[in-house]
Amino acid sequence: QEFMASRSHQPATAVTHIELHRPEKRNAMNKAFWREMVECFTQIAEDPDCRVVVVSGAGEVFTAGIDLMDMASEVLQPEGDDMARTSWNMRRIIAKYQETFSIIERCPKPVVVAVQGACVGGGVDLITACDIRLCTQDAWFQVKEVDIGLAADVGTLQRLPKVIGSRSLVNELALTARKMYADEAKESGLVSRVFPDKEAMLAGALEMAGEIAGRSPVAVQGTKVNLIYSRDHSVAEGLNYMATWNMSMLQTEDVMKSAAASMEKKSPKTITFSKL
Ligand SMILES: CC/C=C\C=C\CC(=O)SCCNC(=O)CCNC(=O)[C@H](O)C(C)(C)COP(=O)(O)OP(=O)(O)OC[C@H]1O[C@@H](n2cnc3c(N)ncnc32)[C@H](O)[C@@H]1OP(=O)(O)O
């Protein structure tokens, strides 16, 4: 499927690959991007033929963040007859942009993101809403917002502290806008794997996606939903949610099929699971 700022295709069974696709503008996030991501992930959440998503960027750079040319009018000059109405409109606009990344987090299908080169501003908002982050050795990450006069408002300040263990490091990155390179990103836990180049990274991302897609969608989606729930709740609340979740999901035929394959020392990838 071809969009204006991105494109999506199915490189393998049950795997959807979304590519940010404005390489000439370093995949800067224009109005079309913000709209298309919501359309894409709304479809993906409902699509039984998709079990896992890979997100990457075309060209040398993952993304330059918000498109400073295309977005300025909407973000900086909201309409309204007085301050209350202008502020209300501004709030609505910010909430709309937040939704572009929150919908990725809410999507029950795991999302693997692959970053090469720069990942700036809105790029960090995007990747922190994904489930697994991979990068190339030349990747760098920058919470750039303070440099352009604003506090990051579409997810980085809320999600990055839950991704990186060190609160001090998060504060430093967000307050100074310094670049963090691949090795430090790995050491801090922002990414789980670093690849020598983009080709190797995409091959690794697709292989990982294939591993996930080959497993029971009931198990995989239940795992994602419960990991995110437990991140935002106490252990007791998380256990309660889990028990309620699995009181129905444990009754799936997938458990018997998977257990039988395991006893026979077969990979779960040899099993045909019903669509979910
Ligand atoms: C409600 C608010 C929601 C979200 C808010 C998010 C906040 C942010 O995202 S803050 C971050 C804003 N981004 C930046 O400040 C980055 C600016 N870009 C760069 O620093 C560099 O382009 C680069 C990413 C390091 C890549 O460098 P390089 O490979 O040398 O490319 P360039 O020659 O600089 O650019 C090529 C081409 O792309 C255009 N472009 C790059 N970034 C943006 C951008 N953010 N917005 C619009 N256009 C961008 C640049 O102008 C060039 O275009 P030409 O037509 O070829 O001149």
Annotated catalytic residue within 117, 122, 123, 222: 122
Burial of 115 (0-12, 13-18, 19+ CB in 10 A): buried
Q: In 177-252, where does DSSP find H-type helix?
A: 182-188, 198-213, 217-231, 235-249
Query: Domain containing 16 — which CATH number?
Result: 3.90.226.10
pTM of this prediction exceeds 0.90: yes
18, β-bridge pairs:
8, 55
pLDDT-derived band at 115 (thresholds 50, 70, 90) equals very high
Residue 23's φ and ψ, nearest 5 degrees, are -60, -30
Sheet containing strand 132-136, strands side by side: 6-12, 15-20, 52-57, 111-115, 132-136, 193-195
Instruction: Say which residues have a Cβ less than 8 Å from residue 64's Cβ, sequence separation at least 6.
Output: 25, 26, 27, 28, 118, 120, 121, 123
3, part of any domain: no
Predicted confidence at residue 64, as pLDDT, reads: 98
Residue located via tokens 């330059």:
64
pLDDT-derived band at 85 (thresholds 50, 70, 90) equals very high
Q: Which of 25, 61, 141 to mutate to test the pocket of ligand 1 (most atoms within 8 A of CB)?
A: 25
CB 177 within 8 A of CB 144: yes
**SS3 (DSSP) at 20:** strand
> How far is Cα 13 from Cα 19, in angstroms, rounded to an integer?
17
CB 87 within 8 A of CB 48: no
Do both 154 and 223 map to the same domain? Answer: no
Q: Which residue range(s) make up the domain with 232?
A: 217-270
Predicted confidence at residue 198, as pLDDT, reads: 98
Ligand 1 close to Cβ of residue 5 (< 6 A): no
Among residues 208, 204, 220, 232, the alpha carbon closest in space to that of 271 is found at 220
> How far is Cα 171 from Cα 175, in angstroms, rounded to an integer?
6
Chain segment 230-251, per-residue pLDDT in tens = 999 999 999 999 999 999 999 9
Of 179, 195, 213, at which residue does a domain stop? 213
Cα Dmax for the chain:
70
Q: What is the mean pLDDT of residues 249-268?
A: 95
Do both 165 and 187 map to the same domain? Answer: yes
1, part of any domain: no
Ligand 1 close to Cβ of residue 94 (< 6 A): yes
> How far is Cα 140 from Cα 117, in angstroms, rounded to an integer?
6
- Domains of the chain: total: 2
Tokens of 226: 């419960």
Do both 102 and 195 map to the same domain? Answer: yes
How high is the mean pLDDT of the chain?
A: 96
Do both 176 and 222 map to the same domain? Answer: no
Predicted confidence at residue 8, as pLDDT, reads: 85
Lowest mean pLDDT among 9-23, 107-121, 133-147, 217-231: 9-23
Tokens of 160: 């990055």
Residue located via tokens 């760098």:
140
Q: What is the mean pLDDT of residues 171-194?
A: 98
Residue 192 CA to its chain's centroid (Å):
14
Do both 106 and 169 map to the same domain? Answer: yes
Residue 118 CA, ligand 1 centroid: distance in Å: 10
Do both 193 and 265 map to the same domain? Answer: no
Does the predicted interface ipTM exceed a cut of 0.85? yes
pLDDT-derived band at 74 (thresholds 50, 70, 90) equals confident
Catalytic residue list contains 132: no
110, β-bridge pairs:
none
Tokens of 202: 């995409």
Do both 234 and 204 map to the same domain? Answer: no
Do both 122 and 18 map to the same domain? Answer: yes
